[in-house]
Structure formats: structure tokens, C-alpha cells
Structure 1
């Protein structure tokens, strides 16, 4: 049911003057990503955009500074994904570093409170007797919850990065770089990046009030958490985000990350000294996210706030166990979804297939539907919305949408909401990912409306699955030097993709690894030594062809060590 894919090579014409220590291969990679200035290839903290242009940030800093000066209780309200958890930890740690003596935190439970600052969560927060609520990674769509908080007499500061609706919630101050008219040059900050910027502004206000004898606390100590949340949320790694992530990775590689992240690195089997953005995305973030999906993100936040290494290891092991359970639930749901698609027969042929897909199963877990939608979107190259009951037996469905380039899924939901008021209860999100809720009786109507909107909006060419390649590697570039240069040339991620190459190879040998993976020994033209390759998820029951074209990454093989390298295959087809 996978549509055919086409490999498309990027333009790798090198421009600009590069230092001699930057390998020619890396220069080509940067050129293919529009970088012709060595300073922009790996930006440093000195290149960070100043916070001043962000709407509301000065008022937010004053609000927080006054709360600190008055000894008021500040309650940080996080969210149940990795961005929200790291943002909560950054806010709590940062406020305490800056002199706040009474800081508490809370996070909604997905199954109990639903998303964000809801009225139900507000009623529970009353026991904490807050004077000021600070939302992180949410709030821009929490109209009812913020109104309920204001009714208690609390002040509310919203820090968010999601797209706002037509009207804003009744908060005292809102900081969101995506507000209409906001002058901050980068709209790609994650929620954790927004609260980090608010803390930078707060430090400036406190410094102006004479709160510090010197420049004040070094907030760079928080960048390990900022890096993890930014990578995990899949926001575009523009120059500003790359500077934040790179600085955070340097702290983690140097062993200066917080104990919770150090423990997560250990339990995931990664090496701190060689940690990459991909390790964050594939190893650390899933273990944190699993808590919010299946249990309670309070466990993840406790891990990130823990300063005792032994307790941090206990929490990391608990998160690792929850993540193992999540993987099992996810695989079962994906298998069920693929079986349902096969029964429908819509993807049996590659022509006349639907432009989008909506799926619902009454037994699915609402914390895992986003992962199911993401897996199917990757496989089918279509926008996908997966639904589950908000809780067992509930008449309310929770949906998670994932999209493809060229189809802004949050705007699509807004268009449906405007065309058919009442169809969707609530929604929010980004271009590539969004969430929504609706009554179960309206699922069929939503499915028709969403798929019809996608069919009208999507150019059929956008439904062709493309693999963007950085071209062929030369025989002399298959070595450890170039593999390490590529690994360390990032951080790579959303909007600044990890280098991917393509080429034809002769198959020398192959064997299965586990139940789903494929190990290959290959010969490249012009190279005498064979190449080792691994294709994760590539075992399909058929013998690989004797010659094949591959799209692959070049990586150091740390398992074999020494000068060993391997190709990590992303896609293969007969040559």
C-alpha cells in the first residue's frame, strides 16, 4: 500500500569562501541547504536573535519580576509532550535561578483533564493557591481555562508557539512569536524556546533593577533542556534554533546536562560524548513523551527537575519501561490501521487513491494516535487524521493530524470549522501537525469534509513521495573522517535535513536482523572494500536484488569501532 517514491537530487553548487578545515563534502551539504556563509552553517549563541522584538515579552518580564519581588506564588503549567515537559522544567529551574522563592508546577493528565489549561485543571490548581499562572507550550487556545483562572483572581501569563485563532484568550500577557504583527524574525521557536527567551528578558529587567551584583545567573545552563524540547517538537531548525540546539548538545556531550537527561541518555544506551540531534529525536524524546501518552507527564517533569543522580536513574528506568509499553501499543494500533486500510482497498492501486485519510477505532489509545498518524503519513504520503475516544467509552473523539509539505493542516481545520460551525469542538496546531476533538456522531461528516478539502487543495504532484538526496558519494568519501564530519556538521533536523545520499550498489551478502531489519554487504563502483549497511524495517520477505539503488546515510559504526562505517539505508529499489 506504499505509493512509489522518486529520488530527487538537491542542487549542491558550492558558493562562498569556506575555511580549509571544512571538508568539500560538507560544503556541498551546506550549499544544498542554502548556506553560503560559514557563520550560518553552525551558528553560535552570539548569533541569537535578541528578544526585544517579541510582542509582549517586555510586559511578561515585568509581570514576573514584580511577582518575584512581591514573594508571590508562581505556578508553571506544562503540557504532556516533550516540548511541554522541557519547557516546564526550564521555567521552574530558570525562575528559581533568577530569585523566585515560591515556584510550583503542574501538568494536565491527558485522560483526566484533556489538553492545556482546562477548567477542570484550574479547579485542581486552586489547592496550590497560585498568584500567577505561567503556561508553557500551550495557552493560546485555552479560552475557557484562562477565564476560569481569572475568575479565581489569578494573573495569567501565556507563553506559547502555536498559531493563534481569530480571538485571543483573556490572559494578562501573551508571548507567542506567531501572534499577528509580532516582529520577532524567527517564527520557528518551540514552546521551550519561547519560555527561554522570556527568562532572558526577565534577567534583563532584574539586572536593571539591581537584583544582581554582576551580570546575573548564566541561563545557558538551561540549554540542554531547550535543545531536547526543540528537537522533539520537530520545529524547523532555522539558524536561531540551530544555535540553541547546538549549544545544548555541547553541554550534554561535555557531561554538563541535568541529571535527568544524563540518566535518559544512559538508559537509552547512547553515549553522551557523541550525542546528536537524531539521538534526541529517536531515544530521549520518545522516553519522555511516553509518560504523557500512557501515564502522567508529571513523571517526566520530575525526572527533568531531579538533581539527585540516583533518583534520576530510577525515574529514567521507569520512563524506559513506559516507552517499551508504548512501542507495543503503537505497533498493535499501526497493524490494525493498515489492516483497516487494506480492507477498504483504497490504496490497492497507485491511481485514484484518496488525497487524505481519516481513521477511527473505539479501542485505540488517545495518547498514541499521533504516532499512528505519523507512521501512516510517512508510508502513504498523505495527510492522515487518527481518532480515538477521549477516554474509554467516551462520546468525544480526540484526533491527531499529520500532514505533508504543501498542505497546512491547522489551516485546513480552520477552514472546515468556518464552513461547518459545530463540526469540530476545538482544534489547534501547526502546518504539519494538529490536534482536534469532536463528537463521535460527527466523525463520518468530518471524514467527508476533510478528505474533500484535501482533494480540492492538494496539487496531485504533491502526493508523489519524494526522497531528496545530496547526490552520490565519491569512492574516497566512504570513510570514518567523512562520516564523523557529517555527524558533527549539524545539528540536523526539521528544515535542515540530515545528509542523505543515493547510488547503485552490488549485493554481496544479506541476512535478517531480528524480525524486521535487514543487514547488507555491498560493493560500490570504484571501491575495493565491501561496505556494511543496515536497513531498519527493510525485511519484507523477499530476497534483495543483486543490484539495487539505495538512499542512505553515511554513519560511523561505533559498535564495531575503529575506522568502521556503515550505510543506514532509508530506501531501496532494484537498479
Structure 2
């Protein structure tokens, strides 16, 4: 291997067919040498480790992350001890406790964690998940009144509630205790309730702001064990072994696209190991229904299981995901898994229709390419798919994107957004709310949600574009593929893949390694159903490497693969190819550059 760095960019690519600069992922040479000597790594692997900001002191635990070394003190979270005390009080007093969960994977995983801990302590919790269409996101005064009327003494909100000031005030008026467990960005106002645990609340000193709600909930379980132990509650029953539920914490971390660094990385890595046993009946049933198998990876969590769990909250029954992850009944799990799988198929159809319509609207707007943010809206787009469509558009146009579905009868638009690295969309949406342009809004750096009057959309677009102009310009200038190593078709084998797999799990904060092939020839290109392109790459090494470009049919990359025309430089990620028992690899193509052209 070589570093492949050229005068203009990696392999002299300053603009690829997708319009991006290629560059070597930057790494401190001294730190690279330190990793080589201390850990016995080869140069490319040591460089990849250094390029991810891993210090010499942290390198060993990074390659083998453990909860023992990285688990935070629960008491470092604001209100964590208070929340544990309130919940154990409710357990001892046998109060009626309801878990109020968001309708996505993180909410379902968080709810299942609490349900399972209380079940181990002999108490059954009720799950309540609001309907995305009729109730919207998070707690509302109406929902809290309904739960109180039905006999609830305590509500625990998970993956929501931190911004529900009006709902929590209503709960206080009607005598309903509330504990909030959340991770979303907060304004300065902290709702007054029994306890509010959120590493992103202004006064929390835990330093764990990257956690998903499921990660926060898992730490809460540790606090619950500690509180119950102090009260002698384990004298007659075994202490719940929290490790058995790490798979649920990993599901939340991966599917909420959190930064996989520090404790969150260890939580995910260990959670995937637990998941690989497929002991959770719901996850096992969903895996089998999807026709997948094997040890759990971030791919299983994020692309096989996650979309199916989410399908219930998007276009079906919002509580299906939480019920699936909470049940120990294999028959019930299979029934729910089949229902979620069918809903996911329907979701894909609805998503494709909305995506096609959104692209048509954007392509009609001649100036959209110059805007720092894309905002596209239309009547009757299903609120359950607009977030996915926003993500697809962001991938396609490489800009922060908001998609709004308008309900004319209610005179409201529900929007969901996805952002580019370096552009804090959640903060911008919060600013728009504070400026009076939104009915509701919030989120985090890479994703946001909002409600808006349709008449305010032009002003909202103008506000967000102005607010994000500088960030988006800087992000566009730095929009580059950062490459870890130059390889050959002959050298791309299972050994290389498994060496770099020591860096897993991959996600934000720990990007999956990218490899480049120089002057590769494309052989036997084939268009697959769904717009994917499959081919074989060959180069001067004499090797042959199977490759695929997903959803590439209408892109410059896809057209170049199908059209032939000489050797190309290729960048992609290596994946295992175990079809029919083989232990090979294939390359998932991210980008292509023509070595004969500059400033493509």
C-alpha cells in the first residue's frame, strides 16, 4: 500500500464524478509511529487509528472497548440519582407507572429497557407511544390527562419530553408525576418535574452528550440497581444482570446515528456482541422474517432491523416496536415481526413516491443549487417517511435538507430534516422556533423536526438559509472523501478486511474505512432492480474485485460504470462476501473519478 496523496488531492482528484475532493485522511506521523510500535500494527492500520483522533493512551481500549473502563458514574448526570429514587419509590409502593416513548427505534429500545428491568423486579409497566399522525411528537397535555384518567401515578418519558414544557406543567396541575429521560438538545428552560435526566441539559456535567436515549436509559438502569441494592431489595431476589440488555442500548445508538466514541462506542461494541446471540425474541424474530442471519453488526441494526422497527411508528401502529423489543413470548414476537415487515414494504412504496415528487419539485427550482439549505414541501406527504426522504435528498444533493408534508385541513406542515457534517441543523431549527416562525421544533446537529404554518414556509426558508449560510459554505468547501489506504484488486482480501474491522463498530465519530483503487477497469457492469449497479473491477495487479454501487442508476457514478470508457479511480468500503460459503470481499463503491479529467 501507499498513501496515494497527490498534488491536487488523493490520486490527483480535486473533483470526482460526484463533485467531491479526495484526500488522505489526515494523521499525525508521530502518532502513527507510536501506534505501530506500541500495538504492533502495520502502517495503514496505525494511520487509520491515528486519523480517528485516537491518542496513544486510548489506543488499546479503543481497539478493545470495555464498559468496565469507560462506564460513567450515573451520579454525574443531573437528576440521575433523583430519577432512580423516584422510580424505586414507585416500585416499592406499587404505583401505576407508564412509559411514554417516542415512536422510533431509540424510543422503543429505551422503553424496552425500562420494561425489562421492572419485570425482573416483579412489576409490569404500561407502554404508551403517541401516534405520529394524530398526536405528533412527544408528550402533550391531552395525552397526560388521558393517562391520569386511566389511573397512572407516574409517567416516564423516554427519548422525548425535555422540551415538553406545557405538557409537564399540565401534569403538575393534575397530580401526575413525570420523570424525563431524553438526549435531545434543550433550551435554557428546564421543565419542572420529578426528575429530568438528559446529558444535553444545560447544567449536566456528565460529558455524555453523544448518547442516544437508550444509552441514557441503560445508565439509569445502573442507577436503579444501585438504589435498589442500597435499600436491600435484592435480599430476596437476584439483582438484574444489565449486560443481557446491552443489545437494546446498541440498537438505540446505531439507529439514532449517534457519535460512536468513548462510552457510547463501548456500549455499542459490547451490545452488538450480546445481540449476536439473538436472545431477544423480538430481534430474533425480526431477523428471521427479514431473511438475514449471522453475527450482529451495525448493518443489521441500522439497515435490517431498524427500518422494520421504525415502520410501525411511520405508517402503522406506533407501539409495535416497543412491544416487539419488550416481549419474551416467541409467538407474539413472530406475529409482530411479520406485521412490521409488511409495514416496512409499504413504507418503501410511500417513500419512493414522495422522493420522486420531491426531486421533481427541486429540479424545477433553478436556483436551489445555490441555496445553503434545501426546503421542499407539498400537500399530503406522509409524515412517517419525510425524514427518510430528507436523508435521501441530502445524500443526493449533499446539502442540509428539510422535507415538509402539509395538512391543509389542519393548516399545519410537519417537517423533518437531515444535515451535512459541520452544519448544526437542530440549533438552527431551535433558533427559528425562538424567532416565532415555528409551532414546534427541535433536534440535534444532524437531524431535526418541526411544525409550521404553511404560510410561514417562505419566511422559514429565508431564515434558515441566512442562519446556515456560513456553516454550509464551510461544510461544502470541506466536503471531501477522506481515504484511509490505497489498495489493489489482488490485495483486497479477507485478511485486509478483518484487520480494519478491529476499528469497528463504525458510525459518526468513527467512520468506516475508505479504500481507493487506482486505474481500475470496469468489467461486466449490470443494472440491478432498485437502480443498483454491480460489476467487477480489475487493475494492474491482475486481481479481480467484485463491486456494487447502491442506488446509482441516475447518478454520474452509475452512468460511468454502465457506460465504459477506460480506467477509473474508485473509492469504496470493503464488505464481507460470504455467499455460498465463500469467504471473499466486495467493494461498495462510494465514488469514481476519471484520471484523464481534471475539475470534473
Q: What band does the TM-score fall into relative to the shorter chain? A: over 0.9
Cα 1:18–1:243 change in 2 (3 A) is farther
Mapped to 2, the partners of 1:19 and 1:510 lie a distance apart of: 44
- SS in structure 2 at match of 1:110: coil
Deviations 1:472-522 (A, max 9, x none): 125664111222333454111121111111222122332222241111111
Q: Residue 433 of structure 2 corresponds to which residue in structure 1?
A: 417
Query: What's the offset of the Cα at 1:152?
Result: 2.1
Q: Residue 88 of structure 2 corresponds to which residue in structure 1?
A: 65
User: Is 1:137 aligned with 2:154?
Assistant: no
User: Is 1:549 aligned with 2:549?
Assistant: no
User: Is 1:168 aligned with 2:168?
Assistant: no
- SS in structure 2 at match of 1:401: strand
User: Of residues 498, 502, 509 in structure 1, which corresponds to 2:524?
Assistant: 509
- 8 Å Cα contact 2:433-2:441 kept in structure 1: no
User: Is 1:486 aligned with 2:500?
Assistant: yes
- Equivalent positions of 1:558-569 (< 5 A) are 558-569=578-589
Q: Residue 301 of structure 1 corresponds to which residue in structure 2?
A: 322
User: Of residues 372, 376, 396 in structure 1, which corresponds to 2:412?
Assistant: 396
Q: Residue 265 of structure 2 corresponds to which residue in structure 1?
A: 242
User: Of residues 207, 210, 213 in structure 1, which corresponds to 2:232?
Assistant: 210
Mapped to 2, the partners of 1:341 and 1:402 lie a distance apart of: 16
306-315 vs 217-226, which moves further: 306-315
User: Is 1:4 aligned with 2:19?
Assistant: yes
User: Of residues 35, 42, 66 in structure 2, which corresponds to 1:16?
Assistant: 35
104-113 vs 504-513, which moves further: 504-513
- SS in structure 1 at match of 2:553: coil
Mapped to 2, the partners of 1:340 and 1:171 lie a distance apart of: 44
Cα 1:560–1:529 change in 2 (3 A) is farther
Query: What's the offset of the Cα at 1:342?
Result: 1.1
- SS in structure 1 at match of 2:379: coil
Cα 1:329–1:544 change in 2 (3 A) is farther
Q: Residue 347 of structure 2 corresponds to which residue in structure 1?
A: 326
User: Is 1:434 aligned with 2:457?
Assistant: no
User: Is 1:84 aligned with 2:99?
Assistant: no
- SS in structure 2 at match of 1:87: helix
- SS in structure 2 at match of 1:399: strand
- Equivalent positions of 1:18-417 (< 5 A) are 25-35=44-54, 36=56, 37-47=59-69, 48-97=71-120, 99=121, 101-213=123-235, 216-256=239-279, 258-273=280-295, 275-347=296-368, 353-389=370-406, 391=407, 393-417=409-433
User: Is 1:446 aligned with 2:463?
Assistant: no
Mapped to 2, the partners of 1:133 and 1:139 lie a distance apart of: 11
Mapped to 1, the partners of 2:286 and 2:42 lie a distance apart of: 33
- SS in structure 1 at match of 2:216: helix
Q: What is the RMSD computed on CA atoms of the aligned residues?
A: 2.1
Cα 1:493–1:305 change in 2 (3 A) is same
Query: What's the offset of the Cα at 1:64?
Result: 1.0
Mapped to 1, the partners of 2:37 and 2:133 lie a distance apart of: 53
Query: What's the offset of the Cα at 1:19?
Result: 7.2
Query: What's the offset of the Cα at 1:392?
Result: 6.7
Mapped to 1, the partners of 2:493 and 2:303 lie a distance apart of: 24
Deviations 1:140-175 (A, max 9, x none): 011121122222211111111011112122211111
Cα 1:21–1:33 change in 2 (3 A) is same
Cα 1:215–1:300 change in 2 (3 A) is closer
Deviations 1:354-404 (A, max 9, x none): 111111110211111111111111221211111113x57321111112211
507-516 vs 452-461, which moves further: 452-461
- SS in structure 1 at match of 2:476: helix
188-197 vs 10-19, which moves further: 10-19
Q: Residue 13 of structure 2 corresponds to which residue in structure 1?
A: none
Mapped to 2, the partners of 1:360 and 1:93 lie a distance apart of: 41
- SS in structure 2 at match of 1:117: coil
Mapped to 1, the partners of 2:471 and 2:484 lie a distance apart of: 30
Mapped to 2, the partners of 1:194 and 1:20 lie a distance apart of: 32
- 8 Å Cα contact 1:278-1:492 kept in structure 2: no
- SS in structure 2 at match of 1:75: strand
Q: Residue 592 of structure 2 corresponds to which residue in structure 1?
A: 572
Mapped to 2, the partners of 1:443 and 1:52 lie a distance apart of: 43
Mapped to 2, the partners of 1:512 and 1:106 lie a distance apart of: 45
Query: What's the offset of the Cα at 1:55?
Result: 0.7
- 8 Å Cα contact 2:549-2:590 kept in structure 1: yes
Q: Residue 528 of structure 1 corresponds to which residue in structure 2?
A: 542
Cα 1:226–1:92 change in 2 (3 A) is same
- 8 Å Cα contact 1:3-1:381 kept in structure 2: no
Q: Report the TM-score, using the length of structure 1 for normalisation.
A: 0.93
Query: What's the offset of the Cα at 1:28?
Result: 3.2
Q: Residue 497 of structure 1 corresponds to which residue in structure 2?
A: 511
Q: Report the TM-score, using the length of structure 2 for normalisation.
A: 0.89
Query: What's the offset of the Cα at 1:25?
Result: 4.4
Deviations 1:524-551 (A, max 9, x none): 33x2231111111223455143211111
Mapped to 2, the partners of 1:111 and 1:417 lie a distance apart of: 21
- 8 Å Cα contact 1:188-1:241 kept in structure 2: yes
- SS in structure 1 at match of 2:199: coil
Q: Which runs of 5+ in 1 are unaligned?
A: none
Q: Residue 470 of structure 1 corresponds to which residue in structure 2?
A: 484
